[in-house]
Amino acid sequence: MPEISHVSSKNAVVPDWDLEQLEVILEAPARWQLVIAGPGAGKSAVACQRVAYLVDEAVPPSRILLVSFTRTAVAELRDRIVSYAVAGDAARGVRISTIDSHAWSLRVGFDDQPLPKSLGDGSYDLSIQHTVELFRNQHADLIDFMARLEHLIIDEAQDVMGLRADLVIEMLKTLSPTCGVTILADPAQAIYGFTTDGRDDEKPEQSLLERLPAECPRPLLKRTLNNLHRVKDGALIDLFLRTRKEIELAGSAHGHIARIQQVIRETCGNDVGVTSFENLADFLNRARDGAMLVLFRRRADVLFASSYCSQAGVEHRLRMSDLPFVVRPWLGWLFGETVQAILTREEFDKLWDDRASESPAPLLGEQRDDCWTLLHRLAAGSRPRTLDLVHLRNIVARSRPPIELCYPDFGSTGPILGTIHASKGREADTVVLVMPPHQDRGADAQDGTDSAEVFEEGRVYYVGATRARKMLATAGSTSTRVGYLDSGRIYRICGDKKAQVEVGRDGDVDKLAHLAWSSSVKVQHTLAAHAGRTVPLKARAVAEDDYALRVVLEHKHDDGVTRVLDVGQLSSSLRADLGRLWGKIDQHGNLRPAENIPHLYLAAVGTVGLAEHERSAVKPPFGQSALALAPVVKGFPMIHFLLRRRARFTR
């Protein structure tokens, strides 16, 4: 089908749209559409151009809501909409949010119940549940607020499950008669019914896409995007089409995953066979491709691969669930010792120069003018060319700071090691898909549940294979048995006196401890000097501080002398998990953990923001600046347990 475009843009970067895409983009603003589109069909681009078209058709940007599946996509979508719209920066006022963040915002605005000071595990689910109840109870102000919307766009409807599907259904019921809806989905990419990137023990739930036929309050005009635009390579196009055909026409679960894996291997033409994590680390070291995406089925395999890469000195980033959001270090370094409330542009420039002369590493790769523009958009002062630092501090202290301030992945440079689930919606020119052997369960299915899970597992590998833009390589791996603590933390018992344990989950580093030490300013300068580098760390138990686990960095000074400095502290929640692991290893009370934990790594240096109730617990100037640098730690270290001589830690 020839590609045509009747859409213009202020910035002249609009793609050439085909007819199917234009039908979605140019549909009447009040129309309700369901758009089915596979990988590479331009679904996200079409959603952005649809929004840009609505803005250019005089729909107020603040009355358009685009609900994205991931936080990482939010900033990318906004920039793309602005580039597509004739209205330019005026389109930046479009509201773009994840379901979780939107539910939280609605609850903040309309729920009279008190909100928690911080968000822990399950807080977003609880927030969504409260928001659904507000809708079902017909909260007058909330219903009036939703009635003002003029267009709602929902992305990845096939992966909106459970409570989140409940919320979207309730939102649809409250829209005004003139409000349009565009829902985008692909049933062949539905991978959140049974499976995750960790344990696959979740109860199956119906997706929003599955519920729409019975529960959508208005008819949906169904459209399909069939043409591939992302890939031009003939072998990749063949892979996309053949794998999708296998997904859509599968009649039996027996052997289904093996067939999917075989089609992917045969079609990509770049299968290296079964490889070890050590060999993979060596390959990445030789490839020197910082944009490469290496995908695994399980979080545990990402941990193993990352551990080998770190030991081999291969800089890399991580992308999987349960990792912290890392705010870029230039913020903490720039404002960590600044206590004033308002900052002018001239003061900002001088501060930038001064901090760059002290330690340039946190500012490397950042453009001063771009950073000012971003901050001014987020926290403009009441006077021209000023920043409101009070507002900025509160923004950074949120449990989920604005994505524009954060690294898109865990770490700052190098190839990305990630799970297929966490890489949904993301792409790379070169992708390595690591597929473990699969134990076929399809023949034993009794009630259809096992069969449905097998089919979903096949879709997981389809999603992984279709992340590639130019080249896909495949590899096999051996499956290593691991366990999961109640928190979801991965561990692996290696004999009767040692075990590996995952370090680096959200909340594993105490963000306040190092700011309460007398050495806090020195720690800031040391962290600044190591920003952007992965360096070895270890943790040591400090007896005089109730065996707190301090994070230790060895660093060489200008005089050539290597010195040791505590730069952070592992959290009480991580210590509690180590105690639970201790209990699994030591059934008879004869062992104690070693005082040192080796093979940890500084994954990044990030910025932490302090909420008001936290500021009194730290040393000056950080109680006033409320911004500082903090270490971001990762590792899959081996914990050794020794014969007990005397009590060491409390489990």
Asked if 157 contacts 216 with a C-beta cutoff of 8 angstroms, the reply is no
Span 210-224, pLDDT tens digits: 999 999 999 999 999
SS3 state of residue 586: coil
Radius of gyration of the chain (CA): 26
Cα–Cα distance, 367 to 531 (Å, whole number):
16
Residue 102 CB neighbours (<10 A) = 21
- Whether the pLDDT of residue 233 is over 70: the answer is yes
Asked if 37 contacts 43 with a C-beta cutoff of 8 angstroms, the reply is yes
Give the pair of three-digit tokens for residue 151.
């267009």
Span 325-356, pLDDT tens digits: 999 999 999 999 999 999 999 999 999 999 99
Give the pair of three-digit tokens for residue 534.
């992965």
Same fold, 19-225 and 234-323+411-480: yes
Question: How is the chain split into domains, by residue range?
Answer: 19-225, 234-323+411-480, 329-405, 490-643
Tally: H helices and E strands in the chain:
20, 24
Return mean pLDDT, the chain: 89
Asked if 568 contacts 542 with a C-beta cutoff of 8 angstroms, the reply is no
The larger pLDDT score, comparing residue 443 to residue 260, is at: 260
Cα–Cα distance, 512 to 56 (Å, whole number):
47
User: Given 3-state DSSP classes, what are the helix, strand and coil percentages for the chain, each rounded to the nearest 5?
Assistant: 40, 20, 35
Cα–Cα distance, 506 to 638 (Å, whole number):
20
| Mean pLDDT within 76-90 | 85
- Whether the pLDDT of residue 260 is over 80: the answer is yes
Residue whose entry in the numeric block shows the structure tokens 């960790």 = 198
To the nearest 10 degrees (0 to 180), the angle between helices 299-311 and 277-287 is: 60
Asked if 140 contacts 163 with a C-beta cutoff of 8 angstroms, the reply is no
Span 582-615, pLDDT tens digits: 999 988 788 889 999 999 999 999 999 999 999 9
Give 205's pLDDT tier (boundaries 50, 70, 90). confident
Given this model, what pLDDT does residue 2 score?
38
Q: Which of 41-55, 150-164, 308-322, 440-454 has the lowest mean pLDDT?
A: 440-454
Highest mean pLDDT among 127-136, 393-402, 501-510: 501-510
Give 1's pLDDT tier (boundaries 50, 70, 90). very low
CATH of domain 234-323+411-480: 3.40.50.300
Given this model, what pLDDT does residue 115 score?
57
Query: What DSSP line would sit under 367-393, residue for residue?
Result: -HHHHHHHHHHHHB-SSTTEEEHHHHH
- Whether the pLDDT of residue 10 is over 60: the answer is no
Give 269's pLDDT tier (boundaries 50, 70, 90). confident
Residue whose entry in the numeric block shows the structure tokens 């270290």 = 637
Q: How far is CA 536 from CA 290, 324, 436, 533, in A?
A: 21, 19, 30, 10
SS3 state of residue 556: strand
Given this model, what pLDDT does residue 204 score?
67
CA angle 118–124–130, rounded 5-degree value: 105
Asked if 512 contacts 617 with a C-beta cutoff of 8 angstroms, the reply is yes
Backbone angles phi, psi at 15, to 5 degrees: -65, 165
Query: Going by C-beta distance under 8 Å and a sequence separation of 6 or more, which residues neighbour residue 323?
Result: 410, 504, 505, 506
- Whether the pLDDT of residue 168 is over 50: the answer is yes
Cα–Cα distance, 476 to 270 (Å, whole number):
12
Give 174's pLDDT tier (boundaries 50, 70, 90). very high
Cα–Cα distance, 213 to 209 (Å, whole number):
8
Asked if 380 contacts 386 with a C-beta cutoff of 8 angstroms, the reply is yes
Backbone angles phi, psi at 580, to 5 degrees: -70, -40
To the nearest 10 degrees (0 to 180), the angle between helices 99-110 and 123-136 is: 60
- Whether the pLDDT of residue 241 is over 70: the answer is yes
Given this model, what pLDDT does residue 446 score?
43
Query: What DSSP line would sit under 588-630, residue for residue?
Result: SS-EEE-SEEEEEEEEEEEEEE--GGGGGGS-TTHHHH-EEEE
Which CATH number, 1.10.150.120, 3.40.50.300, 2.40.10.340, 3.30.70.2660, labels domain 19-225? 3.40.50.300
Given this model, what pLDDT does residue 13 score?
57
Given this model, what pLDDT does residue 122 score?
54
Backbone angles phi, psi at 99, to 5 degrees: -60, -40
Given this model, what pLDDT does residue 3 score?
43
**Torsion sign, CA atoms 81, 83, 87, 93:** positive
| Mean pLDDT within 511-537 | 95
Given this model, what pLDDT does residue 466 score?
96
Span 394-434, pLDDT tens digits: 999 988 898 899 998 998 889 999 999 999 888 999 999 99
Q: β-strands 151-154, 180-185: how paired?
A: parallel
Asked if 44 contacts 185 with a C-beta cutoff of 8 angstroms, the reply is no
Asked if 607 contacts 630 with a C-beta cutoff of 8 angstroms, the reply is yes
Cα–Cα distance, 373 to 368 (Å, whole number):
9
End-to-end CA distance of the chain: 66
Asked if 637 contacts 598 with a C-beta cutoff of 8 angstroms, the reply is yes
Residue whose entry in the numeric block shows the structure tokens 């943790």 = 539
Nearest in space to 21 (alpha carbons), one of 32, 6, 9, 10? 6
Give the pair of three-digit tokens for residue 209.
């896409």
Asked if 85 contacts 91 with a C-beta cutoff of 8 angstroms, the reply is yes
The residue ranges of DSSP E strands in 351-486, in sequence order, are 386-388, 416-419, 428-435, 468-476, 483-484
Kind plus residue range of the DSSP H or E element containing 287: helix 277-287
Report the share of the chain in percent with pLDDT over 90.
71
Q: How far is CA 548 from CA 233, 510, 522, 630, in A?
A: 54, 11, 20, 17
